[in-house]
């Protein structure tokens, strides 16, 4: 290799070959941000429909609790299989339509969502009770599980207070 060959391969002031350090860092930063977003989205396994239905069930429980505290009769939710319905008790269980619903029961099976079965009624103090009549307060917290596939949400109704976080 002669000196003339080296001069041919040397960069001349006006020519550009390759990328600047700023361009490389910018591209790596953009790739890093995009991969973080993709990984976060891929690892997020919550099903939006399941979460929405769990929140709707919590709202229905709170509504039944309020009705029990403001009316004279115990109100509650009967969860059976993959569906639930609201009721009030005046000697017999009377199923009523839930607020914002067109039918008396909500079927979650068609959405692929399951709920652990239970009957929860509330007494005039808003305490969760066993059975329909609202006369036997629960001795422990009630835990309901709403699930779809391997993803689940837990709803807890606190004994003595009826607090639903």
Q: What is the mean pLDDT of the chain?
A: 84
pLDDT of 61: 93
The predicted structure's pLDDT at residue 15: 60
Q: Could you tell me the domains of the chain?
A: 48-157 (3.55.40.10)
pLDDT of residue 44: 57
Distance CA 101, CA 82 (A): 17
Q: Compute how many other C-beta atoms are within 10 angstroms of the C-beta atom of residue 123.
A: 20
pLDDT digits (tens, 9 = 90+) for 59-105: 999 999 999 999 889 999 999 878 999 999 988 888 888 888 888 88
The CA distance from 22 to 64, in Å, is 61
pLDDT at 3 over 60: no
């Amino acid at each position: 290799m002669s000196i003339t060959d080296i001069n041919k391969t040397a960069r001349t002031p006006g020519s550009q070959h390759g990328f600047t350090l700023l361009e490389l860092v910018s591209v790596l930063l953009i790739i890093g941000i995009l991969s973080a977003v993709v990984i976060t989205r891929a690892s997020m396994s919550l099903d939006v429909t399941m979460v929405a239905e769990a929140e709707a069930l919590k709202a229905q429980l709170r509504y039944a609790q309020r009705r029990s505290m403001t009316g004279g009769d115990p109100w509650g939710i009967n969860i059976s299989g993959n569906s639930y319905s609201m009721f009030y008790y005046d000697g017999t269980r009377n199923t009523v339509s839930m607020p914002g619903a067109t039918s008396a029961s909500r079927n979650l099976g068609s959405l692929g969502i399951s709920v652990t079965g239970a009957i929860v009624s509330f007494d005039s103090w808003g305490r969760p009770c066993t059975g329909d009549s609202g006369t036997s307060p629960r001795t422990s917290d009630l835990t309901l599980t709403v699930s779809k596939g391997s993803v689940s949400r837990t709803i807890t109704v606190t004994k003595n207070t009826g607090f639903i976080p």
